[in-house]
Amino acid sequence: MKTFWKNIATALALPFLAAACTTDYPEPDVNGLPQASELDVTIAVDQETNYVTFTLNNKGMVPLWIFGEEKVDGKANKSYAYTQNGIALRFREAGEHTVEVKAYNVNGISVGSKIATFALENDYHDPFDDTPYRNAISNNSERAWVWNSSVSGHFGCGDPNAETVTGLDWWSAGANEKAGWSLYDDVLTFNVDGTYTYDPTDGQVYVNKESGYKPEYYLGDDQDYVAPIEKYEAKYWFEQEWNDAGIEEIYLCFDEGTNVSYIPNPDALATPRYKLMESSVSALRKEIRMYIANSAIAWFYNFVPMGSGEEASESFNGVGFSNGMVETELKQGDAIEVKGIDLTSIWIDPDFFTLNGDKLEFNAVDGEYRVLWDGKWLKVLPLKNGEPATYENNGDLWIIGDGGGKPSLSNLIGWTTENALPCARIDDKTYRITLYMPAEGGSIKVFGQAGWGTEWTKDKYGAVTGNGLFHIPEADGNIHTDQATPGLYTFTFTDNGGILDLTVEAAEPVGPTLFDPASPANLWPATCTMDYYFAQGDGWAQLPNPDFEQAGSVYTLTMNDETNLQWQGQVKFTTGIASSAGKNYDFYISITCTKDHPGITVKLVDASDDGNFYFDGRHSVTADEEFVYKVANFPGKNIDNLQLVLDFGGCQAGTVATIKDILFQEHRIAEMN
């Protein structure tokens, strides 16, 4: 609330500041304050779209539309008041709604307020297009699915009338529990054109004893049975419903007589209509979780793409890249694991990610995203139902223009609107995009989508703080720079009901981490104080120290005895290096062993406090293959004397380890080409 009134005070000051540039300007007059009783408000309701337009007809006044706890476009309104005259907002719920109206002019804010009401006849539901769902389930072409049989709970039944139907509360199959019942070899193939193929592989289908399917094969033993079936093709599609709570539900539907592997009852064949339990298109690309219910029972099915159990060479958030793309749900603050990509060697987009150790922290709001990998950076696009999101359907902003680029100036966006780059939405009202900008010439522009459509002209901006480097000189709303030094700049937009406040600030350079052990920036000393602790067996019988040699920056360690457990092969390098909070650092080490090792521990720690450390992970090493461990841009700690502990506990007798190129430095980056 304090922030709101501060903003109003700033807004009230604007007319005075503008007038101060002339020789004659009006003095504030308390008698000229707007009176609530005189406010002339028009509220126009579009009953088909549920958009409501709010207009204040009094000349010389700026409105304050205050909605309090009203839900605007399906969300609790976090923008306490909107100041745009003629603003159009969508309210999704039918019924009577209210808005409190205040206004201000050159003399100040109104005395009192006016309450206006408006009514909506229907709840608004977005028009439904099942194309994104077909794209997801078919992977934009054709995709085969199989039972997620290796996971407990992949199949089951439950109460169809439960408050939350799971289809698992009466019976849940364990991992591979139904092996041998002609179930797990079934293949379901979905084509993007809406065709579905069921392939039983062995010519048989598993059915419920009450299914009514080919009853002549029922043995009369009160048990489910297997019956013959042929491979066939049918049609599939998706349908949308809204439940009594106003929540969207998505159903996967098939032609009459179509089965989805297991046949539970006649209803499932007569009306094969399955409710998706996770209905976002990004979730649907990873797995199908659904149930089918009649009045007596609900049956749950869980399928995954064929071959998804195989480890992808490159993956993001647990999903393998397909043609350089992943679509997934992301949450703000998530620690995202990326496999197969060296995060220290690529450009980390500071709007969407922060590199913390070997994981990426996600900076934008929760939602559905597409991540594209081109070998240089992980490009992020916000989605809505599988398609690039827009300002209208998801509150997203996009940037086009020939004046900015990612990840460097060599990759300018340009004026092809389909190449627009999204801002990262940090909260409901705040957007951020960091771009490399040239010294002069060129400009960028805010759009409401990737493609032609909604655009921000100059009249749609409020306060613009360009720090003397950026400005909006023309009515088209293009953001220009004439005096900025070429480099990285962060544009922050605050949305006030369609009116954007803009702030531009120089940003810290970002790029791949520069690891160069031979660089003067490397703080690793020429010599370290060495200590060892080697032991063996459950009794931890102490062993002689290993043989150790140093030749420049190369260390050779010969372990003559076998060790069994972690921490039974400790080699300690005490360095005398100090590190500080408030700085960021990089670390690098190369280790090659002559024999396989199940897990070498690498721990960088305070020599005087074993609990104060940077990392302490274990890493398997293959014989005669170089293992490189590197951590980039990690936050510093106040440590006076750093110690590197390498633990070879679990080594084979006679293992020789070559350790080289150890680097510890204040964080350094390389420029992107």
Q: Which domain holds residue 83?
A: 2-120
How many independent structural domains does the chain possess? 4
Residue 138 belongs to a domain: yes
Q: Which residue matches tokens 């071959």?
A: 307
Last residue in a domain, options 506, 537, 568: 506
- The answer to which of 75-79, 91-95, 375-379, 480-484 has the lowest mean pLDDT is 75-79
pLDDT digits (tens, 9 = 90+) for 186-209: 999 999 999 999 999 999 999 999
The three-class DSSP label of residue 236 is strand
Please provide the DSSP assignment of 123-185 as one string. ---PPP--HHHHHHHHTTSEEEEEE-TTSTTSEEEE-TTSSS--S-SSEEPPTTTTTTSS-TT
Distance CA 92, CA 126 (A): 10
Residue 449 belongs to a domain: yes
Backbone angles phi, psi at 470, to 5 degrees: -130, 145
Please compute the mean of the pLDDT values over residues 631-646 and round it to a whole number. Answer: 95
Has residue 541 got a pLDDT over 80?
yes
Please compute the mean of the pLDDT values over residues 60-83 and round it to a whole number. Answer: 75
CB 133 within 8 Å of CB 281: yes
The three-class DSSP label of residue 7 is helix
Looking at the structure, tell me whether residues 589 and 646 fall in a common domain: yes
187: nearest Cα among 202, 206, 201: 201
Please provide the DSSP assignment of 637-652 as one string. --BSSEEEEEE-TTPP
Residue 587 CB coordination number (10 Å): 21
Residue 527 CB coordination number (10 Å): 9
CATH number of the domain to which 582 belongs: 2.60.120.260
Has residue 647 got a pLDDT over 50?
yes
CB 228 within 8 Å of CB 208: no
Residue 560 belongs to a domain: yes
Residue 575 structure tokens: 């360095």
- Give the end-to-end CA distance of the chain in Å, rounded to a whole number: 47
CA dihedral 340, 344, 346, 347 (to 10 degrees): 140
**CA 12 from chain center: how many Å?**
39
Has residue 120 got a pLDDT over 60?
yes
Q: Which residues pair with 325 in a beta bridge?
A: 322, 372
Looking at the structure, tell me whether residues 273 and 332 fall in a common domain: no
Q: Which comes out higher in pLDDT, residue 453 or 645?
A: 645
Residue 524 belongs to a domain: no
Q: Which pLDDT does position 68 carry in this prediction?
A: 82
Q: Which comes out higher in pLDDT, residue 280 or 650?
A: 650
530: nearest Cα among 651, 646, 654, 653: 646
| Amino acid, res. 47 | Q
CB 672 within 8 Å of CB 347: yes
pLDDT digits (tens, 9 = 90+) for 210-222: 999 999 999 888 8
495: nearest Cα among 36, 120, 89: 89
61: which DSSP letter? -
Residue 586 belongs to a domain: yes
CB 516 within 8 Å of CB 510: no
Distance CA 445, CA 491 (A): 11
HEC assignment per residue over 377-404 = EEEEEEEECCEECCHHHHCCCEEEEEEE
pLDDT digits (tens, 9 = 90+) for 365-385: 999 999 999 888 999 999 998
Give the pLDDT band (50/70/90) at residue 673.
low
Looking at the structure, tell me whether residues 249 and 167 fall in a common domain: yes
Give the pLDDT band (50/70/90) at residue 247.
confident
CB 427 within 8 Å of CB 421: no
Q: Which comes out higher in pLDDT, residue 522 or 282?
A: 522
Residue 631 belongs to a domain: yes
Looking at the structure, tell me whether residues 570 and 614 fall in a common domain: yes
Q: What is the overall mean pLDDT for the chain?
A: 89
Residue 651 belongs to a domain: yes
Last residue in a domain, options 251, 270, 305: 305
Looking at the structure, tell me whether residues 287 and 168 fall in a common domain: yes
Q: Which segment, 134-143, 229-238, 355-364, 478-487, is predicted with the most confidence on average? A: 229-238
Distance CA 589, CA 555 (A): 11
The three-class DSSP label of residue 568 is coil
Looking at the structure, tell me whether residues 221 and 277 fall in a common domain: yes
CATH number of the domain to which 57 belongs: 2.60.40.10
CATH number of the domain to which 379 belongs: 2.60.40.3620
Residue 654 belongs to a domain: yes
Looking at the structure, tell me whether residues 297 and 332 fall in a common domain: no
* Whole-number Cα distances in Å, 488 to 46, 479, 514, 585: 44, 15, 18, 21
Distance CA 480, CA 493 (A): 15
Q: Which residue matches tokens 């510890």?
A: 664
Has residue 18 got a pLDDT over 80?
no
Torsion over CA: 58, 59, 61, 65 (sign): positive
Looking at the structure, tell me whether residues 468 and 582 fall in a common domain: no
Question: What percent of the chain shows pLDDT beyond 70?
Answer: 93
pLDDT digits (tens, 9 = 90+) for 607-628: 999 999 999 999 999 999 999 9
**CA 38 from chain center: how many Å?**
48
Looking at the structure, tell me whether residues 558 and 620 fall in a common domain: yes
267: nearest Cα among 239, 249, 293: 293
Please compute the mean of the pLDDT values over residues 536-552 and round it to a whole number. Answer: 94
Please compute the mean of the pLDDT values over residues 169-173 and round it to a whole number. Answer: 96
Looking at the structure, tell me whether residues 569 and 608 fall in a common domain: yes
Last residue in a domain, options 305, 331, 350: 305
Q: Which residues of 59-87 are buried (b: 16+ CB within 10 A; e: fewer)?
A: eebbbbbbbeeeebbeeebebebbbbeeb
Looking at the structure, tell me whether residues 459 and 603 fall in a common domain: no
Q: Which pLDDT does position 311 carry in this prediction?
A: 57
Please compute the mean of the pLDDT values over residues 451-479 and round it to a whole number. Answer: 91
Q: Which pLDDT does position 16 carry in this prediction?
A: 38
Looking at the structure, tell me whether residues 577 and 658 fall in a common domain: yes
Give the pLDDT band (50/70/90) at residue 11.
very low
